[in-house]
Amino acid sequence: MGTIAAYYRLDYEVLTFHETEPVTARAVKQALDTRKDITHFAMVHCETTTGILNELEAISEVVKEYPVTFIVDAISSFGGIPMDIKACGIDFLISSANKCIQGVPGFGFIIASRQKLLQCKGNVRSLSLDIYDQWQAMEQGKGKWRFTSPTHVVRAFYQALLDLEAEGGVEARYKRYRQNNTILTEGMRRLGLDPLLPGEIQSPIITSFRYPADDFNFQAFYESLEQKGFVIYPGKISDAETFRIGNIGDVYPEDMERLLQAIRETLQ
Ligand SMILES: *Cc1c(COP(=O)(O)O)cnc(C)c1O
C-alpha cells in the first residue's frame, strides 16, 4: 500500500507493526489523533503474507469516529469470512475474483459507498483504474465494461457465486475454511510443525508454519509434496524461517487429511 501511495506521490504515513503482530485499534486511534490532516485510512483485513486476521470490527469502531474515508483490502477474506460492510462503515472494500469467492483469476472488484464513489469523479490519476468512469459505463451500458470484457472470467465468477449460494453462503463457507484450518494446524502440531502465530490472530485462510529444524530443506519438502499433488507456499517474513499453507478453494476436510498424510510420508 505504501508503494502504491508512493507511485501516486500521495502524502502518506505507514503504521508499522511487527510482522507477527496484528494492527491494533489503539495504534490507529493514536495515529488519527496525532495527524488531523489524514483524510483516508486503508488496512488489510486478512494479511496473506503471515496469515494474520486483523480485527476489522474493533478498528472500524475507531475509524468511524474520524472524518476519514475507510478503505479495506479484503481480497483474501471477502466471501470466506462474514463481515458487515455497512456496520463497519467501510467506504471502499476491495476484493478479487479468485480468492474466497473461488472464481478464476482475472479481475478485482470494489464495493463502494455511492456517495464516496461520486466524490471520485475527475479525481483520478490513472485512466485504466478510473472506478468512477468504469461504474458510469456499466450503469449506462447495462453492465458493459469500458474496455474488452474478461468474458470467461465473468462467467466463471457468476458460476462461483452460484456455488457459494449452494454451499449455504458466506457463513457455511467460513465454517468449512475454519474446519480445514483446524484439521491442518492440529495435524501439523502432531507432526512437530508449529504454527507461527497464536490461535487468536490466525486467519482461517492461510497459515505460516515454522521450519521443524535448522537444517530443514524446504525445496526438497516442496518438491515431494508437489509430486504427491499438493502445492504449498514459501514463507514471506524476514525474521523467522517459515513456509505457508493455504486452505481455501474447493478443498474439504478430507483433502486436509490427505495433505497431512503426504506431509507425514515426506517427513519420514
Ligand atoms: C491476493 C491478495 C492481493 C492481490 O490480489 P490479486 O488477485 O493477486 O490481484 C492483495 N491483497 C491481499 C491481502 C491478497 O491476499
* pLDDT recorded at residue 199: 95
- Rounded to an integer, the average pLDDT of 256-263 is 98
Per-residue pLDDT, averaged over 11-40, amounts to 96
Q: Is the pLDDT of residue 237 over 90?
A: no
Q: Which atom of ligand 1 is nearest to the CA of 48?
A: 15
Chain centroid to CA 232: how far? 17
Q: Which range, 75-79, 123-127, 237-241, has the best average confidence (pLDDT)?
A: 75-79
d(CA 228, CA 130): 44
Q: Which of 54, 96, 205 has the most ligand 1 atoms within 8 A of CB, as the residue to mutate?
A: 96
Per-residue confidence band for 4, with pLDDT thresholds at 50, 70 and 90: very high
Q: What is the pTM of this model?
A: 0.96
The protein residue whose alpha carbon is closest to atom 10 in ligand 1 is 75
What is the pLDDT of the chain when averaged over all its residues? Answer: 96
Indicate the residue type of 49. Answer: T
Residue 239 — very low, low, confident or very high, per pLDDT cuts 50/70/90?
confident
Nearest residue CA, atom 12 of ligand 1?
75
Give the cell for residue 122: 475527475
Instruction: Compute the distance from residue 172 Cα to the ligand 1 centre, in Å.
Output: 23
Of all atoms in ligand 1, which is nearest to the CA of residue 205? 15
- Atom of ligand 1 at shortest range from CA of 47: 13
The atom of ligand 1 lying closest to the CA of 76 is 15
CB atoms within 10 A of CB 91: 22
Residues with beta carbon inside 6 Å of ligand 1? 44, 48, 73, 75-76, 96, 98-99, 108
pLDDT > 90: what percent of the chain? Answer: 97
155 Cα to the center of ligand 1, angstroms: 21
Instruction: Compute φ and ψ for 196, nearest 5 degrees.
Output: -70, -40
pLDDT digits (tens, 9 = 90+) for 141-157: 999 999 999 999 999 99
**pLDDT, tens digit, 9 for 90 and up, residues 198-236:** 999 999 999 999 999 999 999 999 999 999 999 999 998
Using one digit for the tens of pLDDT, what is the confidence trace for 176-202?
999 999 999 999 999 999 999 999 999
- Read off the C-alpha cell for 32: 488519527
CB 267 within 8 A of CB 238: no
